[in-house]
Amino acid sequence: MLWSYSIVKVNDCKLAFKQLRMAVKTQTRKRYNILVMIFVTVVINYLDRTNISVAAFALRTDLGISTEQMGWVFSVFGIFYASLQIPGGILADSIKSRILYSIILVLWSVATLVQGFINSLAALIGLRASIGVFEAPSYPINNLVVTRWFPEKERASAIAVYTSGQFLGLAFLMPVLTLIQNALGWRGLFIVSGLIGIVWAVVWYLFYRDPRDHKSVSESELEYIEKGGGLVGSKSEDEEKKKFTWDDFKQAFIYQKLWGIYLGQVCLGAVTWFFLTWFPTYLVEFRGLDFVKSGFYASVPYLAAFLGILLSGFASDTLTKKGFSAEISRKAPIIIGMLMTIFIVGANYTNDTFFIILFLALAGFGMGLASIAWVFVSLIAPKENLGLVGGVFNCIGGLSVFVPAIIGYLVSDGDFSPALVFIAIVSLIGVLSYIFIVGKVERIVPKK
């Protein structure tokens, strides 16, 4: 009896071990593959937003565009991009991310490519506006995808990784884009950029799936994501796709904490838009640097921003895992980052290229630290309206798109100093918004 019992126990142990080994073997980490895809998409997204800044000097010369007109060329993308954030967020909530992202990628890439054939200011403005229209749903989609694929304790890191794509892409692409333009002209630059986006649209359609639709993701990974607060889509598709109501729209505007992050995003955007638009022109036209060298110098603040956002995301998640409150773990990187962007004004007090780039790199690093602001949408917004609140967040934050136009007027007399002072003041307002308006970081549960 004892012998038989021992054999049974041994067999039970072997079976349990085999099941455990199979469970471990079947665990997947597909969410990291998805994160890589979002990262690449963000790089392309910002490539098509910012190639105009590299082309600006030559384009202005060929088409006879003034600094004031160029300021509006820079701003028109953002005006349309920001004004369509709310519809873009609603679309992100309503249409599968696989389908919607593929469509808008193709549309904005075609508009980018066609810029290589224009001969007038009006055509350029029209195409920049259309890129803004087609890119409008992109960041609500990004945030929605990360909220579906990542538990809350990993979310700041995930957001930091994909958001860093804009800075890493610019850091390494700025010299490359400069060399492409040097070889093919500004028209060739737009054509190459557009073709890259069209190819990636096909890749996204073929390989992206939401968690429940992804055939190779394991149940253990889905369970891990869902238990950690990831919205993997455990409900039926009919339940998930609830109809939009005006009450949903109201929810995005009636909470103080949401207005705090909206205002903070406007202020962060002022710094970001300077680096995305006027920065290369500042180096070439106002600091007298060689065009090709300026591409390499321009990459330094972007690289600093890349390092800043990665540090911000991983530090934020580490503090969260160690039990620090969200007010510390989530707010601190943003507040410190916005304070650091004020260093930008230091460039007004030196003519030494090293120190100019140093002050701009410190501001870029601060911009990177503060760029995990999307984590607040993920953590605060009502879960039924993540895309909508993300759209409102980007829409109101998008008011900063007028900054390039404002800078165009501020620098019209050839002095860039007032523009940098303006950016520093707006950054300080952003710090005050996160300190005094956002309040406790917790998910909003709409009152019935």
Domain count for the chain, please give it. Answer: 1
Residues 6+ apart with CB under 8 A from 239: none
Within 115-218, residue ranges assigned H as helices are: 121-135, 138-149, 152-207
Nearest to 265 by CA among 155, 190, 179, 376: 376
In angstroms, the CA 69 to CA 90 distance is 33
**Cβ atoms within 10 Å, residue 376:** 27
In the chain, what is the greatest distance between 2 CA atoms, to the nearest angstrom?
Answer: 100
Task: Give the pLDDT score at 26.
Answer: 53
Task: Give the pLDDT score at 125.
Answer: 92
CB 26 within 8 Å of CB 220: yes
Residue given tokens 């998640």 in the structure block: 317
Rounded average pLDDT per 10-residue block, the chain, 448 residues: 46 47 57 89 85 83 82 84 83 86 94 90 91 89 85 80 76 78 87 93 91 80 76 49 67 87 92 84 78 70 87 84 80 92 94 91 93 80 76 82 84 86 94 87 72
Task: Give the pLDDT score at 14.
Answer: 53
Q: Is residue 380 part of a domain?
A: yes
Q: Is residue 234 part of a domain?
A: no
Within 322-416, residue ranges assigned H as helices are: 326-329, 331-340, 353-370, 374-380, 386-397, 403-410
In angstroms, the CA 361 to CA 272 distance is 13
Q: Which helix (H) or strand (E) holds 270?
A: helix 256-273
CB 302 within 8 Å of CB 367: no
In angstroms, the CA 410 to CA 404 distance is 10
In angstroms, the CA 4 to CA 9 distance is 9
Task: Give the pLDDT score at 263.
Answer: 93
- DSSP letter string, 56-68: HHHHHHHHT--HH
Helices 30-63 and 121-135: crossing angle in degrees, nearest 10, is: 170
Q: Is residue 18 part of a domain?
A: no
CATH of the domain at 372: 1.20.1250.20
Q: Is residue 387 part of a domain?
A: yes
Q: Which helix (H) or strand (E) holds 247?
A: helix 246-251
| pTM for this entry | 0.69
Q: Is residue 173 part of a domain?
A: yes
CB 316 within 8 Å of CB 376: no
- Sign of the C-alpha dihedral, residues 335, 338, 342, 347? positive
Q: Is residue 10 part of a domain?
A: no
Helices 291-321 and 331-340: crossing angle in degrees, nearest 10, is: 150
Cα dist from 317 to 210, 268, 326, 333, 384, whole Å: 24, 21, 10, 11, 24
**Cβ atoms within 10 Å, residue 381:** 26
Q: Is 432 exposed, middle or buried (0-12, 13-18, 19+ CB in 10 A)?
A: middle
Q: Is 61 exposed, middle or buried (0-12, 13-18, 19+ CB in 10 A)?
A: exposed
Assign 3-state DSSP to the chain and report helix, strand, coil percentages, each to 5.
85, 0, 15
Q: Is residue 329 part of a domain?
A: yes
Q: Is residue 231 part of a domain?
A: no
For 331, the domain range is 31-210+247-436
